[in-house]
C-alpha cells in the first residue's frame, strides 16, 4: 500500500458548487476510483486560503497504469470537465501534475 497526499486550490467563486457536487459524487466515478485500486480517499478544505488537501491509499501494483485507466473512463472525464475548471493548480507543481503531490516525511501506525 502506498499513501498519497495532494494539494490544489479551489477558486473562491466555485467553492460552494465544489462542496455541493462532492456531497454526492456520481456512483460511476466512485466505482472507477475503487476499480483503480484507490481506497480511503478524502478531500479536506483549508480556509481562508481555499486550499484542498486530498489523501488516499493506493493498493495496486501499477499506479501509472491505473491512473491511465481512470483518465480513460468516460464518466470520470465528464466529472473532471466539471471539477477541473473549479480548481487552481499551484504554479510550482511538477510537469504533468494537476494536484501537487506531497512528499511523505513521517508516518506512524
**Residue 91, domain member (yes or no):** yes
In a domain, 52, yes or no: yes
Residue ranges with strand state E in 1-63: 2-10, 38-46, 51-58
* Residue 55's pLDDT band (cuts 50, 70, 90): very high
Q: Residue 23 maps to which CATH number?
A: 3.30.70.100
pLDDT in tens, 34-51: 999 999 999 999 999 999
Report if residue 62 sits inside a domain: yes
Write down the catalytic residue from 22, 39, 50, 107: 22
pTM of the model: 0.91
b/e code 50-83 from CB counts within 10 Å (16+ = b): bebebebebebeeeeebeebbeebeebeebbeeb
> What domain count does the chain have?
1
Q: How high is the pLDDT of residue 89?
A: 95
All three cell numbers of 66 = 491505473
Question: Which residue range is the domain that position 43 belongs to?
Answer: 2-101
Position 94 in a domain: yes
**pLDDT value of position 60:** 97
Does the annotation count 22 as an active-site position? yes
Average pLDDT, the chain: 97
Amino acid at each position: 500500500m502506498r499513501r498519497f497526499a495532494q494539494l490544489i486550490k479551489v477558486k473562491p467563486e466555485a467553492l460552494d458548487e465544489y462542496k455541493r457536487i462532492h456531497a454526492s459524487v456520481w456512483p460511476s466515478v466512485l466505482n472507477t476510483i475503487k476499480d483503480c485500486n484507490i481506497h480511503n480517499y478524502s478531500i479536506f478544505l483549508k480556509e481562508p486560503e481555499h486550499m484542498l488537501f486530498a489523501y488516499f491509499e493506493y493498493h495496486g501494483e501499477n499506479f501509472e497504469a491505473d491512473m491511465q485507466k481512470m483518465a480513460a473512463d468516460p464518466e470520470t472525464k465528464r466529472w473532471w470537465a466539471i471539477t477541473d475548471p473549479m480548481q487552481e493548480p499551484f504554479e510550482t507543481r511538477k510537469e504533468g501534475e494537476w494536484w501537487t503531490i506531497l512528499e511523505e516525511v513521517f508516518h506512524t501506525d
